[in-house]
Structure 1
Amino acid sequence: MSKLPHIGTSIFTVMSQMASEHQAINLSQGFPNFPVDDRLTAILSRIAKENVHQYTPMSGLPSLLEKIAILTKETYGREIAAKEEILITAGATEGIFAAIQTLVKANEEVIILDPSYDCYEAPILLSNAKPIRVSLNNNFTPNWEVIFAAANEKTKLIIINNPHNPTGKMWAENDFVQLEKLVDAYPNLLVLSDEVYEYITFEQPHISVNHHPKLWHRSISVSSFGKSFHITGWKIGYVIAPENIMREIKKVHQFLVFSVSSIAQHALNEYIDLVDVKTLGGFYQQKRDFFRNLIKDTKLDLLPCEGTYFQVASYANISEENDLDFTKRLVTEFGVATIPISIFYANGKDNKCIRFCFAKDDKTLMQAAERLRQL
């Protein structure tokens, strides 16, 4: 009998398969199609001949942990202990899974804010706990009245995602004020903050749990080298948590993967000294603006994109179809693959919106836009 009976093939796999079958331009899955930094591949090529191929320490390469601590201090002004409060993970997904499996016990509850990424619910269910799905407002900001109403003494965790996938929305300072009030109201409540797009922000700077001292002892933040440095296939990220929580997360992590790719850690340990993460937002903002300009004269209605490399658009003035049918027809008739937003809701809420990934080279975006103008 399945432990996850309602989970089938993900929409990302479905749409990518359809894109391949119909020779469509794939703007569905969230990964770049352009080359990574030459400096990184040069480092990788060189160190591949060095003695970097055996296990690293379980929590991560010590020098890389130290550099993450420095990066966190420079970015957020937070001092963290490299050895005790950071864990290198096999991608952000493993970090999220390990944290939930560590912290959530049977019959406890976890608040998930919909639309939400699909990796949150499974580890909750595997813990025999209960996911509580709470919809964001129609503009994808948190509805704090509803969130407070959903919380109770059984709520162990609230999962937040900022900048937000799939919508590209970012939290405001007042949202963190409300989050602090929620944590104050429930002493056993912890925050799991998915911040994998933290360096891909545009007009407004990213606000992190790491900016807020009141949350430090109650929060676990998850970051992604894969997203930040567009090396998603490396599957490498990291978790920051207070020592008492991190000690327990490491117990789960060691039985999931024990340690993460040694060569990737050694390569990043050198590369992180060469790259300025503050430039990443500008790089992707050019991509965003280029794509938005290309499709501004289509019948699609573009929603604001404040961060991430995703652009949400409404097709409400094009079709009355549900978003899944519309995205499938977009592949078969127009040759562009996207993701329907309804799949990110537990209740399947359909607001006639679809998600594009604009982390693609200019040629791909121009070809997609040419097809979208035929809508």
Structure 2
Amino acid sequence: MQVPCTRTHYRMRFKPPSFPDLSRHFPAFFNPSFIPTSYSRSFFPAMATLSTQKEPLSPPTDVTHKTHQPLQVAKRLEKFKGTIFTQMSLLARKHGAINLGQGFPNFDGPDFIKEAAIQAIRDGKNQYARGYGVPDLNFAIADRFKKDTGLTVDPEKEVTVTSGCTEAIAATMLGLINPGDEVIVFAPFYDSYAATLSIAGANVKGITLRPPDFAVPMEELKSAISKNTRAIIINTPHNPTGKMFTREELQTIASLCIENDVLVFTDEVYDKLSFDMDHISMASLPGMFERTVTMNSLGKTFSLTGWKIGWAIAPPHLTWGVRQAHCFLTFSTSAPMQWATAAALRAPDSYYEELKRDYMAKRAILVEGLKAVGFKVFPSSGTYFVVVDHTPFGLENDVAFCEYLTKEVGVVAIPTSVFYLNPEDGKNLVRFAFCKDEQTLSAAVERMKEKLKRN
């Protein structure tokens, strides 16, 4: 019988990452009254003709507020300025820039999955789904996991369906982390980790992955992990660097976790976008399933990021905490989309092979193009992102470079300093996404060749 680990909790306050103040560069996004120009009156034509009455039904009331109230936010979130992805996407639309920033495809997912969703809606599968997932999807997730890792999991007791991997991350951290718990994260890391860890009150330690190969600094990790460590968060393939954790790195991390009784939370949403080596799931290593929560989703693999269907796989003693948090976050996830996701996960192997070939071709277009423009390009073994060194172009930091690139060149990238506990670690790096059609990638490269000049 498996029982939860017991441990002493240390009351230390989590200091959120010191994200750079982008308001100086992008003031519109931090103005509470800012409304994107696309949300104009013409966007809602019915609003202009809502009433045909000649006389108002009641005297008009002046509801104009003369004073501006200060923004309200809990202290644990006051350092967070809003996601960089939304900011850069808005800036892309404002300047007519090609958006290689936010990681969503500009092409649609497979028809057979969309048809499955339509059929589920027609079949009346439109009410609340079972809290931890419709049975068909739980079984499909378990079957896919066994095919990928060789591990057999109980679909009823060890699989929890969530509203995207973002919610799986939140439910895992809120359900299994206590205030003051020490959590180790490999930086740079996705901003939702920082926000959720802040809400959970965790004490975060960052282990920085540095270019050119972003290898895990093992001696630093060994000195950081201890009996006080509650969990390690691993994202492989890794956003934003494109790094894939090697078997040797994972085995070393696993042995340290077993020795110190540490949990592992793994974000594996890019597992099918592994190009130069095979993806290895931490849970598949000896002795690790019992202490690992494996998180994944539909969106990246099937180009359906807007559906927000994710899941967490864990042994029952960890699943309990995940489900307790999930119950009060979203309770359940879109029912018809769950049925369609089950159909997606039963796609033949040929789908995944074609997906990988397609993305490798896109990666080649962007990587070769960026090199031709003059960037120093770092290897990307997985995901659909490429990290480059922007310093040959003479801008003071990544935020300034991305502002210039968007406004003057017409291409959007993401400044990586927002992914670091210490923004200085990322000031020379920016991230481009290649989850776009080949015409878009080629057009972005041509714009940079024409307008972006080395200093």
TM-score (norm 2): 0.80
Using the TM superposition, give the Cα deviation of residue 351 of structure 1 relative to its aligned residue in structure 2, in angstroms: 5.0
Matching residue of 2:438: 362
Matching residue of 2:222: 148
Matched, 1:183 2:257: yes
Q: Note the alpha carbon deviations across 1:184-211, whole angstroms, 9 max, x for none.
A: 2212x10001111011111211111132
2:313 corresponds to which of 233, 236, 240: 240
Matching residue of 2:33: none
Q: Which moved more, 1:304-313 or 1:136-145?
A: 136-145
Q: Note the alpha carbon deviations across 1:94-150, whole angstroms, 9 max, x for none.
A: 001100011111211111111111111222222222111221233312112111212
Q: Note the alpha carbon deviations across 1:173-231, whole angstroms, 9 max, x for none.
A: 110111122112212x1000111101111121111113213211011111011111111
Q: Is the 8 A contact 2:144 2:345 kept in 1?
A: no
Report the Cα distance in structure 2 between the residues aligned to 1:176 and 1:314, rounded to whole angstroms.
27
- Secondary structure at the aligned position of 2:232 is classed as strand
Report the Cα distance in structure 2 between the residues aligned to 1:232 and 1:121, rounded to whole angstroms.
21
2:89 corresponds to which of 16, 23, 36: 16
2:365 corresponds to which of 290, 297, 316: 290
Report the Cα distance in structure 2 between the residues aligned to 1:361 and 1:127, rounded to whole angstroms.
39
Using the TM superposition, give the Cα deviation of residue 331 of structure 1 relative to its aligned residue in structure 2, in angstroms: 0.5
1:194 corresponds to which of 248, 264, 267: 267
The one-letter amino acid paired with 1:75 is: D
Report the Cα distance in structure 2 between the residues aligned to 1:308 and 1:159, rounded to whole angstroms.
17
Using the TM superposition, give the Cα deviation of residue 268 of structure 1 relative to its aligned residue in structure 2, in angstroms: 1.6
The one-letter amino acid paired with 1:45 is: I
Matching residue of 2:150: 77
Using the TM superposition, give the Cα deviation of residue 55 of structure 1 relative to its aligned residue in structure 2, in angstroms: 1.5
- Larger Rg computed on CA atoms: 2
Matching residue of 1:210: 283
The one-letter amino acid paired with 1:313 is: V
- Secondary structure at the aligned position of 1:123 is classed as helix
Distance 1:294 1:264, change over 3 A: same
Matching residue of 2:382: 307
1:371 corresponds to which of 439, 447, 455: 447
Matching residue of 1:135: 208
Report the Cα distance in structure 1 between the residues aligned to 2:404 and 2:190, rounded to whole angstroms.
23
Matched, 1:165 2:239: yes
Matched, 1:343 2:343: no
- Secondary structure at the aligned position of 1:306 is classed as coil
> 5+ unaligned residues in a row in structure 1: which ranges?
none
Using the TM superposition, give the Cα deviation of residue 153 of structure 1 relative to its aligned residue in structure 2, in angstroms: 2.4
Using the TM superposition, give the Cα deviation of residue 65 of structure 1 relative to its aligned residue in structure 2, in angstroms: 0.9
- Secondary structure at the aligned position of 1:307 is classed as coil
- Secondary structure at the aligned position of 1:354 is classed as strand
- Secondary structure at the aligned position of 2:432 is classed as strand
1:319 corresponds to which of 394, 401, 409: 394
The one-letter amino acid paired with 1:65 is: N
- Secondary structure at the aligned position of 1:373 is classed as helix
- Secondary structure at the aligned position of 2:372 is classed as coil
Matching residue of 2:21: none
Aligned alpha-carbon RMSD (Å): 1.4
The one-letter amino acid paired with 1:361 is: D
Report the Cα distance in structure 2 between the residues aligned to 1:83 and 1:70, rounded to whole angstroms.
12
Using the TM superposition, give the Cα deviation of residue 45 of structure 1 relative to its aligned residue in structure 2, in angstroms: 2.5
Matching residue of 1:65: 138
- Secondary structure at the aligned position of 2:251 is classed as helix
The one-letter amino acid paired with 2:124 is: N
Matching residue of 1:174: 248
> 5+ unaligned residues in a row in structure 2: which ranges?
1-73
The one-letter amino acid paired with 1:362 is: E
Distance 1:274 1:161, change over 3 A: closer
Overall identity of the aligned pairs, in %: 36
Matched, 1:117 2:190: yes
Report the Cα distance in structure 2 between the residues aligned to 1:371 and 1:248, rounded to whole angstroms.
49
Matching residue of 1:230: 303
The one-letter amino acid paired with 1:163 is: P
Report the Cα distance in structure 1 between the residues aligned to 2:310 and 2:139, rounded to whole angstroms.
15
Using the TM superposition, give the Cα deviation of residue 275 of structure 1 relative to its aligned residue in structure 2, in angstroms: 4.2
Q: Which moved more, 1:150-159 or 1:253-262?
A: 150-159
Q: Is the 8 A contact 2:251 2:285 kept in 1?
A: no
Using the TM superposition, give the Cα deviation of residue 70 of structure 1 relative to its aligned residue in structure 2, in angstroms: 1.1
